[in-house]
Structure 1
C-alpha cells in the first residue's frame, strides 16, 4: 500500500512537471501595440525611422508612428520637453546631454561633395579647412577652374555640422558660408545645381543620389574613399552613430520600437538607406 502510494505520487509529480515544462516551451504572445508614438529629430535618420515604423505598424494595426524632422537639436529638445517620446540624433551625445540615453541603430559617414563638372578629385584636410575659412576662394588655387568657390554649410542644430566642425577643428562662427542649408537633400540639390559649390552630407544619401544620376561626387579623405563600405569596415574617419534617444528608461511602446530598431529584422531597411547595420 505504501509502495503503491509512493509510486502514484511519483507518477503524479512527473506528470505535473511534464505539463509545466510543456507550458514553459509554449511561445508567449505579446499584446499588440497601440496608440501613437511621436519621434522627431535628425533628417538623416528620419527616413529609416519611418520605414521601421511602417514595418512595426504592419503587425500592430492600432499603432501609429509619427516621424518628424528638424535636426538632432530638435530631437534632443523635444524629448526633454516631453513633445516626443523618442529623439533622432545622428551623433554621439554631448557632455551636457547626460540626462538622456542613446540607443544606436546604425552607423553613417559624412562626406565632402562636389559637382561632377568640377575637375577637382581630391582635397587635403588643410585645403578643406582653408576653403571653409575663406582663405581659398577660387577653385584654380586647388587645381580647378578659375571660378569662385560657393561654400555650402549646414545650419545650427544639425549634427552633420557638429561632426564636420569637430573633425576639422573648426568653429562654425569662423566659417565663411555662401549658402546655409538644412537637410541632406537640400545640400545635394545645391551642389548638384552649382558646378562651383562644395558641401558635406550623409555618405549614404550622397552615394544613393550619385547612383541615381544626380551630378555630385564624393571626395576621399586621407586617401580613403567616402563610401558606405568604408564606413562599415571603419577605415573612413568621418563617421558617426545614428541614435534613438530617450529621457527615461524605455518601456511599453517606446521600448518595443527601440528593440525592433536594433534587431536583425530591420537590417534590410538599414542597408536600403545605405547605412551600416549593427553587428
Structure 2
C-alpha cells in the first residue's frame, strides 16, 4: 500500500476522532433549576438532601425558599414552584380541616416524621411539662417559672408566625380552644426561636426537632455535662422527648408529618429528586434530622 495512501487514511481517522470528541462535548447535560418553597422547619434536611443530590447530578441546582407550610401549599395549588415542603396534616373535613379549592390536584409524598421540641434555656431547672402545663404557660395563666419549680423569673413566651406548620400543630395539640398570649414574641423560623431562647434564661419556645437534634440522642438527652454546654434544653412532654424512636413509634404527642408536595404526579427531574429522597441514601439523610418514613 503506498505510503501516501496510508497517510491519508491516518488523517481521515484522526479527523473523525476529533469530530466525535466535539460531538461528545455538545451533549453536556442542560442545567436545571428546581425551586422548593414552604416549611422552614424542613430547611436543614432539605439543604442536606439537595446538596447530596447536586453532588450526584452537578447540572441540577436548587433554589430553596421559605415562606411557611400554609403559604407554600397555597402557592403550589396556584402552580408556582416545582415542589413545596409542608408539615401540615392533609385536609380532612371530618376532622375539621376542609380541602381548599385546587387541593385535589396536589400529590403529597411523605418523606418522614417530625416532632415539636419544647425548648428552654439550659439554666432553667424545669425538665418536663405536661400538655396542661404548656397550655397554662402559653395562654398566660402561669406567668412565673417559680410556679413550676424554677428560679428563671417571669416567663417569656416565644411562638412562630401565623401560617407556620409548627404553630398549627402547637395550637391544635396544645392550645385547643385557648389562644396563645398576645405577649408572646413571634419568630419567623425555628432557628430564630432557638437563637432567642438561647439568649434569654426565662424564655420557652417550640421548634422542629431538626433544630434540637444536635443536643439529643435516639434514646435520651446527652450527658449533663454536654447539656450544660448546649445553647438550649429540650423538655419532656408527657414523659417523653422527641427522639427518633419515640416519633417513629407515635409515642410522642407533638408529632407531625413531613411532605414534599407537587401539583400533579411528579415527573422528570422532580420525580428523580423525590425518588432519591425516598431511596436508602436519601432516607439516611432524613434520619439525621427526623424519623425517616422507610
Q: Confirm or deny a common fold (TM above 0.5).
A: yes
Matches within 5 A, 1:83-122: 83-94=80-91, 95-97=98-100, 98-99=103-104, 100-122=106-128
Q: For structure 1, which segment, 34-43 or 148-157, has the greater mean C-alpha deviation from structure 2 after superposition?
A: 34-43
Gaps of 5+ in 1: 1-30
2:272 aligned residue: 256
Distance 1:80 1:182, change over 3 A: same
**Which of 135, 139, 149 in structure 2 is aligned with 1:143?**
149
RMSD, aligned CA: 2.2
Mapped partners of 1:230, 1:106: distance in 2:
13
Distance 1:219 1:66, change over 3 A: same
**Structure 1, residues 92-113: CA drift from partner, whole Å, max 9, x if none?**
2233243322101111110211
2:131 aligned residue: 125
Distance 1:190 1:249, change over 3 A: same
Q: CA deviation at 1:233?
A: 2.9
Matches within 5 A, 1:1-279: 34-94=31-91, 95-97=98-100, 98-99=103-104, 100-145=106-151, 147-170=153-176, 173-209=179-215, 213-272=229-288, 274-279=289-294
Runs ≥4 residues deviating over 6 A: none
**Structure 1, residues 104-133: CA drift from partner, whole Å, max 9, x if none?**
111111021111111112222111111111
- What is the TM-score with the length of structure 1 in the denominator? 0.81
- What is the TM-score with the length of structure 2 in the denominator? 0.77
Mapped partners of 1:160, 1:225: distance in 2:
16
Secondary structure of 1:246's match? strand
Distance 1:56 1:237, change over 3 A: same
Gaps of 5+ in 2: 1-27, 92-97, 217-221
Distance 1:180 1:93, change over 3 A: same
